[in-house]
A = this chain, B = another copy of it.
């Protein structure tokens, strides 16, 4: 109920605040990645690799050209953080999978996002739940227009 008494923010104010949070989080992520010798792009790829993913699928997720992914995966593979596997059902496809080392390194990167962890720790359970619900509402719309 504490919320309902506040003055409504301008849409522009809200937009700007959201941008600031996004920027801060990105910095946090990039810094943690750099700490492990990863560029932010490389870390982003590792973060996507829950299961095997074809090169093309990676390109789609990263919203970039497929030829770009070749180089990124090359560099990750050289460090043995990732492996290319032949797809059994389509010989054109190469599936990228994270190695144990790859999974471990991205886990640590997430752990070391101190600014973000610290910020979330300032919320109590109710606030966390509220934020989670609100962001969850935004998510589908924000991800829809991906093109």
| Segment with Cβ contacts to B, from A68-76, A80-88, A93-101, A134-142 | A134-142
Q: A residues within 8 Å of B by Cβ?
A: 1-4, 6-9, 11, 13-15, 17-22, 24-31, 47, 63, 110, 113-120, 122-123, 125-139, 141-147
Say whether B145 contacts A134, CB under 8 Å.
no
- Closest B residue by C-beta to A63: B27
List of B residues within 8 angstroms of A135 by Cβ: 14, 17-18, 21, 131
Chosen A-B contacts, 23 in total, with CB atoms closer than 8 Å, are A1-B1, A3-B133, A11-B120, A14-B120, A14-B135, A15-B117, A17-B136, A17-B139, A20-B139, A22-B22, A22-B26, A24-B142, A24-B146, A26-B26, A28-B142, A31-B147, A115-B141, A115-B146, A118-B141, A118-B144, A120-B138, A122-B137, A122-B141
